[in-house]
């Protein structure tokens, strides 16, 4: 069996593994019968039966169940409808019971008793929406409702996952009624398995599933990080295990409404794991502490909120009190707004110490949000119940000193779970955060998700730093004396502590705000931003020493850049002097700026900050941080984590790294700046020299392995050498991977004098890549695949004598193709010239002339055989010449044929499949009548059935043995032409 077979090597095994863990397979024909047609998403009888079974007191008969089905079918075909469908799945919707004259909650699922649900899986799931018809590879249905759509690709497809994702996006456009019901999607090509939430279609919301060693009742989502990623059986069985699917549907999806816009979130594997472990700790009467250590940018807030919701909704916790503790007013308000946006019920926001004390004294149940300082002087034993759960955000600093003692003294029997996003400093094991929260676990934490793991998963990108020129660096003696040597900065956890130290560092802060230095740095930043950052489409932060320094930098930057390009975001003080007050922002103004900064092409492009936005603000488009403020430990890691968020633009450009440009010398001694265990941070923040060394290494490899192909050759000879060498698909895809890494490095490093010795060779590699993609993947728009700085090379510097793609003829038709056959070119070049032009002909004219599609299919078959070395150039040219002659004949006959475009396409499909002209015309004439009789066959199931009957009969009459297969191929071709 060929490894390139998607159905046999990926789709069929996926279905087999699903049936082994409890799903019942239904063939497509049976699924279509149960659905009642392609326009219906549900297995109708299954859903009606399950509605009555799961709701015996509310849905008392089939008529009542049908009413619920009608309600489900009437949901809006968008994310709003998807939200409502999810509310149905979670049991949040009601149905009126006439006999009781009241509303009862409606259950579509029973997540607590999986055996009461019915689990079906089917494939080739056709769905009709208006003029559009899609066909999903695999669909999973629970109680007749499609909840999970899976797209599979062959393991040999280099861009398989990207292509599958594009299909999922297309389904949202062309079959929104189906996608309004489905909550999840997955993409796999055997060695990779990704998943995401429907209606959340950014690449950064596509997550890597790692696998599982098995589930049990107490911990149904226990993930094994050591499971091999390429074990397809493990990946599939762990993801589609019925209990897991139910849990994901009901507990690990969140909808949030922000600024009036609804968005959807699904938790990542490490978040699911942490939720289950925290709930396990909450059930353990012997343990009352736990530390969840998840790196910055890994979704800690959503993990906390999911845990809070599960604690509140799980009956065994007996209507508990859950406290969410934060340490800053900004976070408190942000969290409170998140809770409202996520649909939490009544939430108590503790507005003062007295209010918090009152809430605890009166035994308030439900959710309480408070800042840690409101526990100051809190009496002991204020609430002694055991079903009190305290979730403490930024635990590395929230519970330090007496505040932590007051908190725990007031709630002596509560379970305390700390959450931190930064590594624990070297001295902390045995004290501080580890002692407070990690004492019940041998390793000091309940769950850990490291920076390195997040980079491997693509949750964050690696960081690189660059030291500014010496004349712009901070005074080293002042830094040593007034910053590095200050004992209180050991393990510093709060930016306010940094600020207090800097307030006393008179020499250092005066030096940092020296007007001449500020002017020079502003000029450097402006030039660097315009040269390196802006051409890639990214944005930047400039971090200054204090609020006054922010204002000084704004004034200086405005002398080098348009004023609207930058904005100051600082906290305001009542006694601020006028030059600071000018930059005070209202809440609405700041909100508008923060939103605009996240969007490409909008101003501001540079934020000037000192404290605000250095924690809690996520803007994936942020690539570069200009650092002119001394920081260290947690504060430094939190700040630089602003630039480590993955980002992908609409035109496909991916941010693969973040950059910190250091003006104070923090990164001269990274071990000193980050007092954490080396295993947690080593290799995560590296100098830009690492990228230069890697670029040099790749270029040396290119000179030895790739550029030798064209050494001493030019024009057609060079083209033929490259095309012939890379006919092997694995070698070709290996080159693509090599080039993409090289291109990403070039994008980051350019322009740089370091690159000058490599530019000509790099340009040759660009041309080689373009040639291969154009010749072997004509359906891929090559120019769009280049990153911006490489695209500039393509536009400006491609030489006429270089290795180029086959040139376009611009006059598409049989005559032009025959002319290509007679050109004085090497045979390999001729083959690809012809294939390229045939592909272009079919793409541009196939809709108006469907017969061209069958010719295009023949051309693609020749391409595949040629690439796989099943034929040589001479044989390929002979077959292409025959195909061009057929095309010429088809053009001529089409001009005089009385047949419609559809009927003529049937005739030429048969003729390209060796049917004699008389038989092909006989079938086409019979189908001409059928097309007139059944004009809506593409959208009407009955008409399609009648048309098929005619086609079956016509093919049988001329002696075709594979009637069904040929009919499917012909009708699919006509559908493609109509798309």
Q: Is there a contact between 466 and 661 (Cβ–Cβ < 8 Å)?
A: yes
Instruction: Among 194, 219, 251, give the residue marking a domain's end.
Output: 251
Look up residue 589 and give its two tokens.
Answer: 């103004």
For residue 456, being part of any structural domain is answered with no
For residue 464, being part of any structural domain is answered with no
Q: Is there a contact between 376 and 403 (Cβ–Cβ < 8 Å)?
A: yes
Could you identify the residue written with the tokens 């504060």? 635
For residue 583, being part of any structural domain is answered with yes
Q: Is there a contact between 822 and 790 (Cβ–Cβ < 8 Å)?
A: no
CATH number at residue 332: 3.40.50.300
* Residue of higher predicted confidence among 846 and 254: 254
pLDDT attached to residue 677? 57
Of 835, 857, 965, nearest to 908 by C-alpha is 857
Of 971, 965, 934, nearest to 850 by C-alpha is 971
For residue 600, give the H/E element and its range: none
Q: Is there a contact between 625 and 532 (Cβ–Cβ < 8 Å)?
A: no
Query: What average pLDDT does the chain have?
Result: 83
Positive or negative CA dihedral for 20, 265, 183, 316? positive
For residue 829, give the H/E element and its range: helix 827-845
Tell me 513's DSSP state: T
Look up residue 894 and give its two tokens.
Answer: 């089409």
pLDDT by residue (tens digit) across 231-287?
Answer: 889 899 999 999 999 999 999 999 887 767 888 999 999 999 999 999 999 999 999
Residues 87 and 220 grouped into a single domain: yes
Confidence at 681, pLDDT banded by 50, 70, 90: low
pLDDT by residue (tens digit) across 31-57?
Answer: 999 999 999 999 999 999 999 999 999
Q: Cα separation of 190 and 232, whole Å?
A: 6
Q: Is there a contact between 619 and 596 (Cβ–Cβ < 8 Å)?
A: no
For residue 261, being part of any structural domain is answered with no
For residue 539, being part of any structural domain is answered with yes
Calculate mean pLDDT across residues 687-696: 91
Residues 705 and 822 grouped into a single domain: no
Mention every residue, 6+ apart, whose C-beta is less than 8 A from residue 37.
Answer: 128, 941
Residues 275 and 212 grouped into a single domain: no
Q: Cα separation of 872 and 877, whole Å?
A: 9
User: Measured in whole angstroms, how far is the alpha carbon of residue 237 from the centre of its chain?
Assistant: 22
Instruction: Among 868, 896, 924, give the residue marking a domain's end.
Output: 896
pLDDT by residue (tens digit) across 328-346?
Answer: 554 555 555 556 556 576 7
Q: Cα separation of 326 and 373, whole Å?
A: 9
**Residues facing 419 on adjacent strands:** 292
Q: Cα separation of 27 and 125, whole Å?
A: 10
Residues 808 and 728 grouped into a single domain: no
Look up residue 912 and give its two tokens.
Answer: 């390209």
pLDDT by residue (tens digit) across 381-435?
Answer: 888 999 999 998 877 655 555 666 788 888 899 999 988 877 665 444 434 455 6
Q: Cα separation of 492 and 639, whole Å?
A: 13
3-state SS, residue 607: strand
Q: Is there a contact between 867 and 832 (Cβ–Cβ < 8 Å)?
A: no
Residue 624 has pLDDT above 70, yes or no: yes
Residues 384 and 435 grouped into a single domain: yes
pLDDT by residue (tens digit) across 91-109?
Answer: 989 988 888 888 888 999 9
For residue 455, being part of any structural domain is answered with no
Residues 279 and 201 grouped into a single domain: no
Say if strands 261-266 and 253-258 run parallel, antiparallel, or are unpaired.
Answer: antiparallel
Mention every residue, 6+ apart, whose C-beta is less than 8 A from residue 14.
Answer: 138, 150, 152, 188, 232, 236
**Residues facing 654 on adjacent strands:** 648
Residues 284 and 230 grouped into a single domain: no
Q: How far is residue 749 from each of residues 531, 573, 692, measured CA to CA in Å? A: 11, 41, 7
Residues 283 and 188 grouped into a single domain: no
Percent of the chain with pLDDT over 90: 38
Residue 491 has pLDDT above 60, yes or no: yes
Can you give the C-alpha Rg of the chain in angstroms?
32
Q: How far is residue 187 from each of residues 17, 177, 455, 494, 971, measured CA to CA in Å? A: 16, 20, 20, 41, 27
User: Measured in whole angstroms, how far is the alpha carbon of residue 363 from the centre of its chain?
Assistant: 43
Look up residue 138 and give its two tokens.
Answer: 């695999």
Residue 858 has pLDDT above 80, yes or no: no
**Residues facing 678 on adjacent strands:** none
Of 352, 406, 404, nearest to 377 by C-alpha is 406
Residues 506 and 567 grouped into a single domain: yes
Tell me 654's DSSP state: B
Q: Is there a contact between 85 and 181 (Cβ–Cβ < 8 Å)?
A: yes
Residues 374 and 439 grouped into a single domain: yes
Positive or negative CA dihedral for 595, 601, 604, 609? positive
CB atoms within 10 A of CB 659: 22
Q: Cα separation of 82 and 255, whole Å?
A: 10
Q: How far is residue 799 from each of residues 703, 711, 793, measured CA to CA in Å? A: 19, 16, 10
For residue 938, being part of any structural domain is answered with yes
For residue 259, being part of any structural domain is answered with no
Residues 788 and 816 grouped into a single domain: no
Instruction: Among 875, 896, 917, give the residue marking a domain's end.
Output: 896
| Total domains present in the chain | 6
Burial of 63 (0-12, 13-18, 19+ CB in 10 A): exposed
Q: Is there a contact between 185 and 148 (Cβ–Cβ < 8 Å)?
A: yes
Q: How far is residue 453 from each of residues 243, 273, 333, 458, 623, measured CA to CA in Å? A: 26, 14, 30, 9, 21
Q: Which domain holds residue 374?
A: 267-449
Q: Cα separation of 976 and 951, whole Å?
A: 18
pLDDT attached to residue 972? 82
pLDDT attached to residue 469? 92
* Residue of higher predicted confidence among 935 and 800: 935
Of 325, 356, 545, nearest to 437 by C-alpha is 325
pLDDT by residue (tens digit) across 187-233?
Answer: 998 778 999 999 998 877 889 887 643 333 333 333 333 433 458 89
Q: How far is residue 386 from each of residues 271, 284, 304, 394, measured CA to CA in Å? A: 25, 11, 20, 24
pTM of whole model > 0.85? Answer: no
Mention every residue, 6+ apart, whose C-beta is less than 8 A from residue 290.
Answer: 277, 278, 281, 415, 416, 417, 418, 437, 438, 440, 441, 445, 446, 447
Look up residue 33 and give its two tokens.
Answer: 């019968």
User: Measured in whole angstroms, how far is the alpha carbon of residue 726 from the centre of its chain?
Assistant: 31
Mention every residue, 6+ apart, whose C-beta is less than 8 A from residue 364.
Answer: 321, 348
For residue 609, give the H/E element and its range: strand 606-609
Mention every residue, 6+ apart, whose C-beta is less than 8 A from residue 26.
Answer: 34, 43, 120, 121, 122
Residue 803 has pLDDT above 50, yes or no: no
User: Measured in whole angstroms, how far is the alpha carbon of residue 382 from the centre of its chain?
Assistant: 45
Residues 377 and 439 grouped into a single domain: yes
pLDDT attached to residue 637? 83
């Amino acid at each position: 069996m060929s490894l390139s077979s998607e159905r046999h090597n990926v789709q069929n095994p996926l279905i087999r593994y699903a049936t082994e863990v409890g799903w019942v397979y239904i063939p497509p024909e049976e699924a279509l019968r149960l659905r009642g047609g392609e326009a219906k998403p549900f297995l109708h009888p299954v859903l009606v039966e399950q509605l009555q079974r799961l709701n015996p007191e509310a849905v008392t008969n089939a008529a009542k169940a049908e009413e619920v089905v009608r309600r489900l079918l009437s949901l809006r075909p968008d994310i709003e409808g998807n939200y409502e469908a999810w509310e149905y799945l979670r049991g949040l919707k009601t149905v009126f019971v006439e006999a009781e004259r009241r509303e009862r909650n409606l259950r579509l699922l029973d997540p607590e008793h999986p055996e009461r649900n019915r689990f079906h899986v089917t494939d080739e799931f056709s769905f009709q929406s208006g003029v559009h018809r899609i066909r999903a590879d695999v669909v999973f249905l629970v109680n007749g409702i499609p909840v999970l759509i899976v797209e599979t690709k062959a393991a040999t497809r280099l861009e398989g996952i990207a292509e599958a994702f594009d299909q999922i996006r297309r389904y949202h456009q062309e079959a929104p009624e189906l996608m309004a019901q489905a909550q999840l999607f997955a993409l796999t090509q055997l060695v990779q398995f990704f998943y995401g939430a429907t209606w959340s279609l950014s690449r950064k919301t596509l997550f890597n599933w790692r696998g599982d060693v098995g589930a049990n009742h107490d911990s149904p989502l226990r993930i094994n990080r050591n499971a091999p990623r390429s074990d397809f059986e493990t990946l599939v069985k762990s993801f589609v295990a019925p209990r897991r699917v139910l849990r994901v549907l009901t507990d690990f999806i969140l909808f949030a409404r922000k600024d009036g816009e609804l968005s959807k979130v699904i938790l990542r594997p490490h978040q699911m794991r942490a939720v289950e472990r925290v709930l396990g700790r909450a059930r353990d009467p012997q343990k009352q502490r736990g530390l969840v250590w998840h790196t910055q940018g890994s979704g800690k807030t959503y993990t906390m909120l999911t845990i809070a919701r599960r604690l509140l909704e799980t009956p065994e916790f007996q209507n508990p009190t859950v406290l969410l503790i934060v340490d800053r007013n900004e976070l408190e308000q942000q969290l409170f707004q998140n809770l409202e946006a996520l649909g939490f019920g009544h939430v108590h926001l503790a507005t003062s110490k007295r209010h918090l004390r009152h809430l605890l004294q009166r035994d308030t149940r439900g959710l309480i949000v408070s800042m840690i300082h409101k526990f100051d002087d809190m009496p002991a034993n204020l609430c002694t119940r055991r079903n009190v759960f305290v979730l403490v955000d930024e635990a590395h600093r929230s519970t330090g000193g007496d505040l932590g003692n007051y908190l725990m003294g007031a709630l002596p029997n509560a379970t305390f779970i700390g959450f931190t996003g930064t590594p624990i400093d070297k001295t902390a094991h045995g004290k501080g955060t580890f002692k407070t929260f990690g004492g019940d676990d041998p390793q000091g934490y309940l769950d850990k998700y490291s920076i390195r793991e997040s980079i491997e998963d693509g949750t964050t990108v690696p960081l690189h730093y660059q030291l500014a020129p010496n004349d712009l660096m901070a005074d080293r003696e002042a830094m040593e004396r007034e910053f590095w040597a200050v004992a209180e900065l050991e393990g510093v956890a709060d930016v306010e502590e940094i600020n207090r130290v800097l307030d006393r560092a008179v020499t250092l802060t005066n030096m940092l705000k020296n007007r001449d230095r500020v002017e020079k740095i502003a000029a450097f930043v402006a030039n660097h931003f315009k040269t390196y950052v802006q051409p890639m489409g990214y944005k930047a932060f400039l971090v200054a020493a204090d609020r006054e320094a922010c204002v000084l930098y704004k004034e200086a930057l405005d002398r080098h850049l348009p004023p609207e390009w930058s904005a100051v975001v600082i906290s305001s003080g009542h006694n601020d002097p006028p030059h600071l007050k000018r930059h005070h922002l209202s809440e609405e103004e700041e909100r508008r700026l923060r939103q605009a900064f996240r969007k490409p092409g909008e101003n501001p492009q540079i934020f000037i900050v000192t404290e605000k936005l250095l924690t809690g603000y996520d803007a994936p488009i942020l690539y570069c941080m200009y650092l002119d403020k001394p920081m260290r430990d947690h504060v430094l890691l939190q700040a630089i984590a602003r630039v480590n968020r993955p980002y992908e633009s609409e035109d496909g450009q991916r941010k693969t790294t973040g950059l910190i440009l250091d003006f104070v010398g923090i990164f001269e001694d990274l071990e000193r700046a980050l007092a954490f265990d080396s295993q947690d941070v080593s290799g995560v923040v590296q100098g830009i020299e690492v990228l230069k060394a890697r670029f040099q290494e790749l270029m040396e490899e290119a000179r030895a392995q790739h550029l030798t192909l064209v050494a001493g050759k030019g024009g057609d000879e060079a083209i033929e050498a490259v095309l012939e060498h890379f006919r092997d698909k694995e070698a070709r895809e290996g080159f693509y991977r090599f080039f993409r890494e090289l291109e990403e490095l070039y994008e980051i490093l350019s322009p740089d004098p370091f690159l000058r010795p490599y530019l000509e060779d790099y340009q040759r590699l660009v041309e080689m890549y373009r040639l291969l993609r154009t010749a072997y993947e004509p359906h891929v728009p090559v120019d769009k695949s280049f990153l911006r700085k490489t695209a500039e090379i393509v536009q400006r510097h491609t030489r006429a004598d270089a290795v180029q793609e086959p040139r376009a003829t611009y006059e598409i038709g049989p005559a032009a193709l025959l002319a290509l056959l007679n050109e004085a070119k090497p045979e390999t070049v001729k083959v690809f010239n012809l294939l390229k032009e045939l592909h272009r002909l079919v793409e541009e004219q196939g809709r108006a002339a469907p017969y061209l599609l069958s010719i295009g299919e023949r051309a693609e078959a020749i391409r595949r055989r040629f690439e796989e070395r099943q034929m040589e150039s001479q044989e390929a040219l002979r077959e292409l010449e025959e195909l061009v002659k057929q095309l010429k004949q088809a053009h001529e006959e089409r001009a005089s044929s009385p047949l419609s475009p559809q009927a003529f396409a049937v005739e030429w499909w048969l003729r390209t499949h060796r049917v004699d002209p008389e038989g092909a015309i006989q079938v086409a004439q019979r189908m001409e009548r059928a097309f007139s009789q059944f004009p809506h066959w593409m959208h009407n199931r009955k008409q399609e059935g009648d048309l098929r009957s005619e086609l079956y009969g016509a093919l049988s009459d001329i002696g075709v043995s594979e009637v069904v297969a040929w009919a499917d191929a012909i009708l699919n071709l006509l559908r493609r032409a109509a798309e």
